[in-house]
Structure 1
Amino acid sequence: RSCLVCLASFCGAHLEPHRRAPAFRAHRLVAPLRRLEEGLCPRHLQPLDGFCRAEQTCVCARCRAHEHRAHDVVPLEREREHKEAQQAKFLSDVENELEELAVTIAQAKKMVELIKGAATKERERVEKLFAEASEVLATFQKEVAGFIEDGERSMLGEAEADLRWKEERRAKLAQCKQNLENVPSNDTVYFLQEFQALKVAMEENLSSAPSFQNELNFTKCTQAVSAVKGVLSAACKNQWDHLQGKGIDGLNYQEMEEGLKDQANRQGIRAGRAGGISSRFPPHPHVSLPHTVAFIVDLDSDTADKFIQLFGTKGAKRVMCPIPYPESPTRFINCEQVLGVNLMNRGNYYWEVELIDGWVSIGVVAEDFNPRESYNRGRLGRNEKSCCLQWNGQNYVTWFGGFESVIQQPFFHTIGVFLEYSEKALTFYGVKDSKMTCLQQLKVSHFAKGQFDPFQNKINHQFASLFLFKLKPAFFLESVDAHLQIGPLKKDCVSVLKRR
């Protein structure tokens, strides 16, 4: 039996004192309880002998008489039978949940590894770039210090020569003056000789006076370094805002360019120095660009597939675990794609994309494209309402209408996209160090005699019809580690496109 006062269970032999001794007569004995404390009401220290269905908890007799007197309370055995009848289905649900958790845990572990790997790669790339930037600054610092030393040495030599010349002239004049003053008053010949000597000394140059420049040209270094510091600080701030999704999206390129020029003028930088940057672009005949626009691309979260995570309006990364985006009629559901917000329907547009990792496709899509198309038809370039440039880890490939064209070019971290709506042309550039390499232009063109290209044939027959619609920038993150960033526009690239 179990004693509710002693809170202990006893065998028959040890239970005798409770039966015989007067001191134990007030102790309440009940059927043996395996876990005595758990079988007692923590409030009333009485056996739990009922189950309250209203609050789904075990209760004692005093609980039934007070707190739970208006509740549906049943015996424990009856509630157990009720629960055992549900046990099989409940355990099956638990088993399914365990299996799903096992799968999602595996995915989460993979995602953790992907994040760690991507962060490690990004950290290494950033550290390398910072090291290169530090080398550039160190080289500039060394050149400026050398310029100061050369200027000091050159101008100091001129200043010291000028000092010697003046000291020699002063010494000779002082000597001639003293000789004239020391001539005896009765020595007329000596007086005339010394007077003439002093006059000649006043009129002659002991040596040619050096052409000493009053301006210390090496003091311009402060102005130059201050200008570099200002530009660097502004660039760091702009890029940091860009990383945080702020950027300068509210400005068009002309306003950006004017702002940079104003800042440069305030810091004493000659605007003409920008012309010293060498830009080499591929020839691009038969194109007139009177209205080139530096296009600001913002990613549209209402179009992003659930396996794409957006970072502000500029970054997109493929993820393993779906993101609970709200329902949207414009959201892709079968392809890991996302569109830009703004439409393009006239003029010329240029934007740049940074390929950070994985397989990424960049292109344009018609405004009325159905985002619920199947995977085979819904991917960029696999239909007649979109086209793209794809990086598949080994090559660049252009796609349109299900036809492809492989491009033999090295990998470029930055891709420039130039859409000429009125010309019905789309050009993809590889951009590096403000130099642009034309990867491929999609445009109707005639075949050379004796040549036939299925991809160009598809372009010739159906590409122009794509421009019957308003177009949007489009991005396809194909591999599980795909990651892209809408890049800041490179000033030299847009300037050259505007001049063409």
Structure 2
Amino acid sequence: MVAQFRQSAQQKASSSSSEQQVSKPGEVPCDVCTGTKLKALKSCLVCLVSYCEIHLEPHLSASRLKRHQLIDPVENLEGRMCTEHDKPLELPKTHDVVPLIEEYEEMKAELGKTEAEIQQMIQKRRLKILEIKQSVELSDEDADREIAEGVQVFTSLRESVERGLNELINTIKEKQKTTEKQAEAFITELEQEISELMKRSTEVEQLSRSEDHLHLLQRVQSLNIQQPPPTKDWTEVRVRPSSYEGTTWEYQGWPP
């Protein structure tokens, strides 16, 4: 009877292959189809076989097969076999291991904590960027006030001190450029760290949504994704504006 069913299913698959979606490169093919392989809709963790729509039908109708665990189609189902018992990893009960679902839930909780920590690190770095920008604005204001004072003083001396005025302005601007370059370097480094943290956050979020227990555990272990990427401790980092006090009088020769 099983042979008759397989023959009937194969004939049915062959006659309707034009109506079904043929497996494309990168997609998981049906393990049962002969000839033209149709795209698998589900993989069975018990049978360790991927099925197309036609060959999946017994798992949806037969009461015994309905108890099998179906997941989205995946390749390399053989990697889910226990080498000692020659059974799917979730089935042996003599192993001295933590149940897969328990480890999955624990790992998912850990990923949630990691996600929260990464988000907190991102927020701290965004606040640091605001702090640096505010420091630059204050430095700009100081520079503007000092330049205005210099213009007022040197204008009264006309051409005799124009060269000194230009030197003064250039000196102040060079100091300000130094401050801005330092701030830009800090901001660039912070944005790079934020980019890396957001990338890790996306990876953690995608893994947290995974329903494939073993895939999640394997990815976390292989990539060490629970650990945030290496970052700098920004707690004591400050942009210290250049001091402009007394610059004008240095070029006037004051005090005598």
TM range (shorter): 0.3 to 0.5
Structure 1 length-normalised TM: 0.22
Higher relative contact order (CA 8 A, sep 6+): 2
Whichever of the two has the greater Rg, that structure is 1
Q: Higher strand share goes to which structure?
A: 1
Q: Higher helix share goes to which structure?
A: 2
Structure 2 length-normalised TM: 0.39
